[in-house]
Structure 1
């Protein structure tokens, strides 16, 4: 088995995983439309898949909280994801009925659902030991998204929409192979780590946790329509696939820039202030997209993606990390289950319905989601106080 440094191991994984994501995410709506699926049904399909991720992260993921479980679990997750995705595109193409696609998407998302949470836990563990820089490894994921979204515009122009799922499957296969590499530094359990399964419901009953989850849900959930329907929307407005691909690439370039400047620009900011920055950007970005499809406006809106997306992620990561001492695993599972799973599922279904049945712009709906966050404040959690925790918190501020 090939051995490499933890930083190279995780950077390779991030690049492969997010390349697959960048290939499939922006253009899957076009592929499903080619199979005869309406906008409203696409929203329902996406909702079913994200709901499956919510369930798996709420139930199964917390059981794999021990250090020795993480890498084997990630390998199994990627292997089963590859099988599930191949079944999805093969059987879905043969019998493209709504319920067949829904069942296959649920199976695929049950397999891949824990991948982001588990890979974050692995990165955080190595960052805690100063073996990698979280922000640097995440940069490779953003680079992969940029490359994928730019390439797919050209691929679709020359090979058609049918190339989208095939490229996605190739990317997932490469991701699984990458996980088979062995980090040169084994993951070792620290003596002060909790070995028992965390009590998610106890953490969920905390007022501060509920406010954090609500704000993160509204901000991250507001991206649901963008992720799953912006490509279809822009295509209907006359933008060609090359331009759409470049717009997606621009958004991921803004993510790269945000991560690069975050160490100096936001290291002294409170979590609540970071969230407020993301709130302002969310309302501004989706409001502008609701009123205009002019290319200069879309370019500006895509540049804001670095703040609306990465700002929300950075704020959430810092909040979770600063709670490491008592409820880190539970908070991480809740974050990936609710804001990144359940709420995205609901918003995706709602945006699909709006596109198909209503004259109301889905972008107005998404902009309104940010307004309550103006009046909500995520309270700064108490730092853990341990040397290791302070080290990792400083490291993750650069993410």
Structure 2
């Protein structure tokens, strides 16, 4: 946004716009997604992330940055909600704290640090290339969610399976 001559105050405001929708999503997600498969949640979240990063690459403007912050809240909340449901449904109670302990630093710490470092190099090439790079990184997550659905959820959703 600095490249678009947006003041630092508005950049800060924009970066915090997603907080309210995140709170609202977390408040209502349980009711909205009750009975939905985890793999579909991962696919929706990853698809929204690819859309968000691609929009930032294609249309670098303040309104798009603001709109994509709402997308960020969707991807952030839905990914974390799906992960928490996954560990609570698939792991024994005694293993849940360890799974959360691994997920938090790896999923929100180390991966963010590595991708931020890589995107710094892409940003030096052009600001938009950093956004495109993030979209490319997320594409395998859409595929992984599809694989999870194909492998585990089709029978539960009433779709024929040839397992």
Q: Larger % of helix: which?
A: 2
User: Is the 1:252–1:305 contact (alpha carbons within 8 Å) kept by the matching residues of 2?
Assistant: no
> Per the alignment, in what secondary structure is the counterpart of residue 328 of structure 1?
helix
The structure 1 segments of at least 4 consecutive aligned residues displaced by more than 6 Å after TM superposition are none
Counterpart of 1:332 in structure 2 is 100
Counterpart of 2:5 in structure 1 is 238
1:185-224 equivalences under 5 Å are: none
Offset of residue 367 of structure 1: 0.6
- Distance in 2, matches of 1:255 and 1:272, equals 20
- Distance in 1, matches of 2:51 and 2:113, equals 23
* CA shift digits 1:227-256 (9 cap, x unpaired): xxxxxxx12321112221221232112212
- Distance in 2, matches of 1:249 and 1:336, equals 21
User: Is the 1:247–1:302 contact (alpha carbons within 8 Å) kept by the matching residues of 2?
Assistant: yes
Which of 1, 20, 30 matches 1:263? 30
Counterpart of 1:138 in structure 2 is none
- Distance in 2, matches of 1:263 and 1:252, equals 18
User: Is the 2:122–2:133 contact (alpha carbons within 8 Å) kept by the matching residues of 1?
Assistant: no
Q: Is 2:142 the counterpart of 1:369?
A: no
Offset of residue 326 of structure 1: 5.2
TM-score (normalised: structure 1): 0.35
Structure 1 unaligned regions, length at least 5:
1-233, 381-399
User: Is the 1:279–1:371 contact (alpha carbons within 8 Å) kept by the matching residues of 2?
Assistant: yes
Offset of residue 257 of structure 1: 2.0
Which of 121, 124, 139 matches 1:353? 121
User: Is the 1:277–1:307 contact (alpha carbons within 8 Å) kept by the matching residues of 2?
Assistant: no
Counterpart of 1:319 in structure 2 is 86
Q: Is 2:146 the counterpart of 1:343?
A: no
- Distance in 2, matches of 1:340 and 1:366, equals 15
Counterpart of 2:160 in structure 1 is none
**Aligned residue pairs: how many?**
147
Counterpart of 1:304 in structure 2 is 71
Task: Say what the alpha-carbon RMSD is for the aligned residues.
Answer: 2.1
Distance change >3 Å, CA 250–CA 337, structure 1 → 2: closer
* CA shift digits 1:323-363 (9 cap, x unpaired): 1335213211221232222222211110112223x236100
Larger radius of gyration: 1
- Distance in 2, matches of 1:338 and 1:240, equals 33
- Distance in 2, matches of 1:337 and 1:251, equals 22
- Distance in 2, matches of 1:300 and 1:341, equals 25
